[in-house]
Structure 1
């Protein structure tokens, strides 16, 4: 069998997203989301940020989805959940970055050669903000 198991299709909320983390070939950790899609296979996967500006769709509570469109929480641009294209707002003309998946027997598998599955949920940012300033308080 090809791919790494991510989740059951039933785990993807009808009006939200399922958050998981991946790593690219350069060891950059990224977040990805599974979202419901009316077209077969019933879900799609995208990197978890707006291509217009580095804004997460799902910050741990699920992406806002209405009428088959993912809503950017910063500017309100709408992305087609099945195709990834945006036709309005500041992100008009851009597209979400896809993550290749396959659905077999109701289960979602990551099959994208560009990413390795890490874990369910988002990345933990426990380092806090970084600074290049020589000042201390």
Structure 2
């Protein structure tokens, strides 16, 4: 059985319309996840559009309309409950999900391939291994 980490409450996600957190994947790499309202519960999706890896939540919450996540770059809309996109540049794709469970209104991370790093985005945490983006460009600033 997988371990579980308490994240937040269903009520909080519904009130705020989303909740952003960072995980470490099975290789130790950071990734962002958004919890979004889905009917009476919540769903967890990787925080990237399937078209060009545009972040849904950049620290200000996920733009949503009619129970769909909206990609801020091209306007593709993803169903909050299924992750499926039926329009725009990302049509006929589905967001990668992250395993969660809900018990007594509390949301837990239960994905065997992910460990909780911290609430907020990758750049919001104080992970020792996370020094921010790196560049391989020959141009210095």
Could you state the TM-score of these two structures normalised by the residue count of structure 2? Answer: 0.87
Q: How far does residue 43 in structure 1 lie from its aligned partner after superposition? A: 0.4
- Give the corresponding residue for 1:59: 58
**Structure 1 residues 132, 2: CA separation in 2 closer, same or farther (over 3 Å shift)?**
closer
Could you state the TM-score of these two structures normalised by the residue count of structure 1? Answer: 0.89
Distance 1:28 1:2 in 2: 19
- Contiguous gaps of at least 5 residues in structure 1: none
Matches within 5 A, 1:76-87: 76-87=75-86
Distance 2:37 2:94 in 1: 17
Q: How far does residue 129 in structure 1 lie from its aligned partner after superposition? A: 5.7
User: RMSD in angstroms over aligned alpha carbons?
Assistant: 1.9
Matches within 5 A, 1:50-129: 50-124=49-123, 127=132
* DSSP 3-state at the match of 1:83: coil
Distance 1:119 1:43 in 2: 19
Q: Give the number of the structure whose residues are more often strand, by fraction.
A: 2
Q: How far does residue 67 in structure 1 lie from its aligned partner after superposition? A: 0.7
Distance 1:29 1:47 in 2: 11
- Give the corresponding residue for 2:127: none
Distance 2:16 2:75 in 1: 16
**1:54-102 Cα shifts (integer Å, max 9, x gaps):** 1000000000011110000000000000000000001001110000100
